Amino acid sequence: MTLRNAFGRFHADVGTGADSTVAIPTPPISSRLAAITRGGGPSGFIRSAALPLATAILAIAIFIVDTITPYEISAATFYVVVVLLSLRFCRTQGVITISAICVVLTVVSYVLTPGGNFETGIVNTSISLLAIAATTYLAVKSESARVTAEQAQAHLAHVARVTTLGEIAASIAHEINQPLTAIVTNASACTRWMYAQPPNLERAAASMDNIVDDANRASEIINRVRALATRTELKKTSLELNVVVHEVLALMQTRFRENRISVRTNLSNDLPMIFGDRIQLQQVVLNLLVNAIDALNAVPNDGREIHIISSKSNTCGATITIDDSGVGIDPASVNHLFDAFHSTKSDGMGIGLSICRSIIEAHSGQIWAAPNKPRGAAFCFTLPGDREKAV
């Protein structure tokens, strides 16, 4: 079954309004090529190459100035700027390599300097080399600390995903059971048509097609769950937020029905492509929907509704808004909702929204919450578009 057909089944099962149907366009060839480059397209490639090029030009300029000026002027000290800039586009080994190049340039420049006080030149060169070495050491330590922090955050996010999947396990099991039941039913029908007198091969073939479709549907569900449950490295690609929303809704529809919650979607057809990690963005949407369900479970059964909206942001990015008609949020605690270990639920761990904020900020976006009118809460996050990020 194609992804589009799976989405169609979602709308039929949940019973969303007329405004919920969204045409998901096939990403153009340019969008696929954008995923190949780090910056998400030709402009992204230019952006990713600009900083290394500027750093190389700066290093050459420092070398020239340090060479043509007398020993008393210690221009080589500015190589620390080159080392610090290299942190923006290099890992640890790359920073060390660039630092070594700066050391070599400093020594060569000292040898080629035409004049000046020789002893002063030795002192200035020694100070420059020490400054480069000290900056490199601090830069490597900083990079190591950053990598360790990212790994710790990724591990915490993985734990939160697995915990959330545990909460919707019954819904996932039901979603898998539906296509499996349909497979058994179609297999029985196919057998009857094959053994009929005379055999009805046309109907048997139609039953086989239905079996293939339902098997693909079950496979898609399993792949989504496996992706969310697997601890993987951050992998940013060019993607569409509407597809991310639909993939999460496909896992949640049974839980919506069980809790008698109406889901309406109003998704824009002209969202810009986003450069991000699909699994992490799915986790954000999943966390926000689970929170909305918990908020709705604390109110009477009538008027229990979740509304999901996607739109272009004012800065040419994309915005997702998830609002509900639940118990709402205290305006005094809005500024603390995304703090670590802060929870408005008695049994909450207080890490779900904190992880959402970390993920969105890692994607250069923003996330916030506000009371919804006439009741409930609204959670919004904005991400820069592929082209916007590249500029």
Q: What is the pLDDT of residue 27?
A: 37
Q: Map out the domains of the chain as residue ranges.
A: 3-27+168-390, 46-158
Q: For the residues 143-158, what does the mean pLDDT come to?
A: 65
Q: Strand pairing of 305-312 and 262-267?
A: parallel
Structure tokens at 261: 């919650």
Instruction: Assess whether pLDDT exceeds 70 at residue 31.
Output: no
Q: What is the pLDDT of residue 153?
A: 58
Bridge partners of 72, per DSSP, are: none
Q: Are strands 366-371 and 305-312 parallel, antiparallel or unpaired?
A: unpaired
Question: Which of 144, 24, 20 shows the shortest CA–CA distance to 91?
Answer: 144
Has residue 25 got a pLDDT over 50?
no
- pLDDT band of residue 333 (cuts 50, 70, 90) is low
Mean pLDDT of the chain: 75
DSSP-derived secondary structure letter, 329: -
d(CA 158, CA 255): 22
Q: In angstroms, rounded to a whole number, what is the distance separating the alpha carbons of residues 94 and 52? A: 11
More reliable by pLDDT, 118 or 113: 113
Give tens-digit pLDDT for 285-314: 888 888 888 888 877 777 788 999 999 887
At residue 327, what are phi and psi to the nearest 5 degrees?
A: -75, -15
Q: Answer yes or no: pTM beyond 0.75.
A: no
Best CA proximity match to 355, nearest among 224, 225, 168, 162: 162
| CATH of region 3-27+168-390, choose from 3.30.565.10, 3.40.47.10, 3.30.70.141, 3.40.640.10 | 3.30.565.10
Omega before 198 within 30 of 0, i.e. cis:
yes
| pLDDT > 70: percent of the chain | 70
- Percentage of the residues of the chain whose pLDDT score is greater than 90: 10
Q: What pLDDT score was predicted for residue 192?
A: 85
Among candidate residues 249, 287, 281, 56, the one with its CA nearest the CA of residue 171? 249
Residue 255 CA to residue 326 CA, distance in Å, equals 16
Residue 262 dihedral angles phi and psi, to the nearest 5°:
-90, 130
What DSSP state is assigned to residue 277? E
From 14-23, 64-73, 374-383, the region with the lowest mean pLDDT: 14-23
What is residue 37's predicted lDDT score, i.e. its pLDDT? 35
More confident residue, 147 or 29: 147
- pLDDT for residue 339 is more than 50: yes
Task: Give residue 38's pLDDT band: very low, low, confident or very high (50, 70, 90).
Answer: very low
218/240 Cα distance (integer angstroms): 23
User: For residues 269 and 346, which has the higher predicted lDDT (pLDDT)?
Assistant: 269
Please report which confidence band the pLDDT of residue 47 belongs to, taking 50, 70 and 90 as the band edges: very low
Each residue's pLDDT tens digit, 54-83: 888 998 999 998 888 888 888 888 988 998
The two three-digit tokens of residue 158, written as one number: 């993985």
Phi-psi sector, 89: left (phi>0), alpha (psi -120 to 50), beta: alpha
Task: Confirm if 39 and 288 have CB atoms less than 8 A apart.
Answer: no
